């Protein structure tokens, strides 16, 4: 069991936690980092963690599960920071990922990318291959789309994130993208998870629309166990009885993951809401809840987009979002 004390905890408040641990007959060790005092006890499956949660200045308690060996918080380094070039995902600085749902043409891709770069974005999202429900929907440009992304990267210096659907395509993706995206439908694709786990490319793992927190962490474990420690979790909404939005954003999953895992968390309000006018307020809520960044669908002419037109915000809306995110970030001790 891991007991994390608030950074403002006084000596006597820590002592009360230690007294309860001793009363329960548990062995313990104390570790300190720059922000918190962390108390690690021996495995205690029969101990009710709520006993500790009710004590003063206990920030949160994590009951260790033997099934998870790599995704749980590392005691000596509570949060993983993923470095890509000069960018760090995790930590105090928020990461903004934005771009069109899919690569449609060179003109479309470059027009959006240059605007986003001028707005301060360093990572552009764009799908070369699209996993679509209907076989008649636009499936992406495939390898031609990857070629356009490579050309964009060389000309602008922007980093690329794109969804990979099949592990057979991994060699081609590794030549172009900086972050491999595992989409919601592939969260349970074990062969794909194992394959990206053997690469050294960062992986953004999206939560499936029916997955529990435990299942999401298990999927991440598959990647980490392969040797790839650079995993970013992404909440993009789950399917519920509500039919007003495309999905239901589980905002509580953000702090829940933060309590249990050292991995950074990104929120995708575009897929969560499916509605252009909801993306900005939901984005601000995600940052307030502790997300390490956002993934936003942006298009210069959303009404003409080949896919997900309803959930792509306009370029000027994105600029407005950036200004608002800066204000919320400052309020919660983060920066953009």
Looking at the structure, do residues 117 and 232 belong to the same domain, yes or no? yes
43 falls in which pLDDT band (50, 70, 90)? low
201-254 per-position pLDDT tens digit? 999 999 999 999 999 999 999 999 898 999 999 999 999 999 999 999 999 999
Looking at the structure, do residues 22 and 93 belong to the same domain, yes or no? no
252 C-beta neighbours (distance < 10 Å), count: 11
Looking at the structure, do residues 242 and 157 belong to the same domain, yes or no? yes
Say what the pLDDT of residue 137 is: 85
Looking at the structure, do residues 115 and 179 belong to the same domain, yes or no? yes
Looking at the structure, do residues 327 and 217 belong to the same domain, yes or no? yes
Looking at the structure, do residues 192 and 323 belong to the same domain, yes or no? yes
Give Cα 226 to chain centroid, integer Å.
Answer: 19
Instruction: Identify the domain containing residue 47 by its residue range.
Output: 2-62
Looking at the structure, do residues 37 and 90 belong to the same domain, yes or no? no
Q: Which residue has the higher pLDDT, 35 or 307?
A: 307
Say what the pLDDT of residue 53 is: 86
Say what the pLDDT of residue 326 is: 95
Q: Is the pLDDT of residue 51 over 90?
A: no
Looking at the structure, do residues 18 and 123 belong to the same domain, yes or no? no
72-112 per-position pLDDT tens digit? 876 555 789 999 988 999 989 999 999 999 999 999 999 99
Q: Is the pLDDT of residue 293 over 80?
A: yes
Maximal CA-CA distance, the chain: 68
β-strands 87-89, 82-84: how paired? Answer: antiparallel
Say what the pLDDT of residue 32 is: 74
- CATH number of the domain enclosing 27: 3.30.70.1140
Looking at the structure, do residues 303 and 220 belong to the same domain, yes or no? yes
39 falls in which pLDDT band (50, 70, 90)? confident
This prediction's pTM: 0.84
Q: Is the pLDDT of residue 66 over 70?
A: no
CA pair distance 296, 100, nearest whole angstrom: 8
Q: Which residue has the higher pLDDT, 296 or 85?
A: 296
Looking at the structure, do residues 41 and 152 belong to the same domain, yes or no? no
Number of domains, the chain: 2
221 occurs within a structural domain: yes
Q: Where are the alpha helices (DSSP H) in the chain?
A: 11-23, 50-53, 106-118, 143-156, 170-176, 190-197, 213-225, 253-260, 269-273, 279-288, 315-331
- CATH number of the domain enclosing 212: 3.20.20.70
6 occurs within a structural domain: yes
Average pLDDT over residues 184-206: 96
Residues in the chain: 336
Say what the pLDDT of residue 254 is: 96
Looking at the structure, do residues 118 and 197 belong to the same domain, yes or no? yes
Q: Is the pLDDT of residue 56 over 60?
A: yes
């Amino acid at each position: 069991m891991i007991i994390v004390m608030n950074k403002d905890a006084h000596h006597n408040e820590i002592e009360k936690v230690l007294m309860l641990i001793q009363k329960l007959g548990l062995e313990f060790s104390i570790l300190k980092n720059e922000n918190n005092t962390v108390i690690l006890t021996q495995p205690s499956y029969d101990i009710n963690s709520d006993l500790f949660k009710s004590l003063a200045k206990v920030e949160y308690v994590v009951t260790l599960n033997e099934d998870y060996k790599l995704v749980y918080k590392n005691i000596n380094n509570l949060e993983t920071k993923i470095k890509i070039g000069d960018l760090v995902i995790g930590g105090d600085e928020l990461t903004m990922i934005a771009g069109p749902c899919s690569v449609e043409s060179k003109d479309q891709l470059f027009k959006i990318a240059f605007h986003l770069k001028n707005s301060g974005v360093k990572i552009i999202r764009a799908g070369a291959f699209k996993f679509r429900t209907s076989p008649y929907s636009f499936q992406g440009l495939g390898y031609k789309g990857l070629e356009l992304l490579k050309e964009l990267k060389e000309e602008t210096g922007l980093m690329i994130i794109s969804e990979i659907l099949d592990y057979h395509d991994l060699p081609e993706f590794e030549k172009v993208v900086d972050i491999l995206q595992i989409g919601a439908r592939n969260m349970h694709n074990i062969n794909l998870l194992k394959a990206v786990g053997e690469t050294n490319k960062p992986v953004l793992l999206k939560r499936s629309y029916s997955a529990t927190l435990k299942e999401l962490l298990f999927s991440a474990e598959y990647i980490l166990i392969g040797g790839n420690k650079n995993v970013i979790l992404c909440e993009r909404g789950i399917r519920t009885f509500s039919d007003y939005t495309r999905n239901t954003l589980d905002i509580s999953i953000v702090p829940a993951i933060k309590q249990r895992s050292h991995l950074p968390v990104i929120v995708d309000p575009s897929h969560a809401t499916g509605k252009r006018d909801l993306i900005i307020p939901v984005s601000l809520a995600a940052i307030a809840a502790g997300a390490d960044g956002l993934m936003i669908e942006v298009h210069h002419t959303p009404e003409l987009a080949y896919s997900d037109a309803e959930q792509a915000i306009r370029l000027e809306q994105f600029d407005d979002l950036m200004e608002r995110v800066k204000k919320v970030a400052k309020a919660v001790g983060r920066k953009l």
